Amino acid sequence: MGAHRWRYAELATPCDSEYLYSRDGLALCGDSFSDGRVEDAWLSGHRLGEALIGRSV
């Protein structure tokens, strides 16, 4: 058994927003919008989902 980590995948500077959404319907979320942890990926997706449901983006 072994684990693989992306050696060069760490952020230099996190984004200012938790997700990106364009009025054209393109939405982007993930751990790269924060500290790069699994929890950050989930939170980013969850918040984008809430925004899309409420159309408050």
What's residue 45's pLDDT?
Answer: 94
CA atoms within 13 A on the CB side of 27: 15
2-33 pLDDT, tens per residue?
776 666 667 777 778 889 988 888 999 988 88
Neighbouring-strand partners of residue 17: none
pTM of the complete model: 0.70
CA-CA distances (angstroms) from residue 14 to 33, 45, 48? 6, 16, 17
Q: Residue-wise over 23-38: b if at least 16 C-beta within 10 A, else e?
A: eeeeeebbbbbbeeee
What's residue 29's pLDDT?
Answer: 92
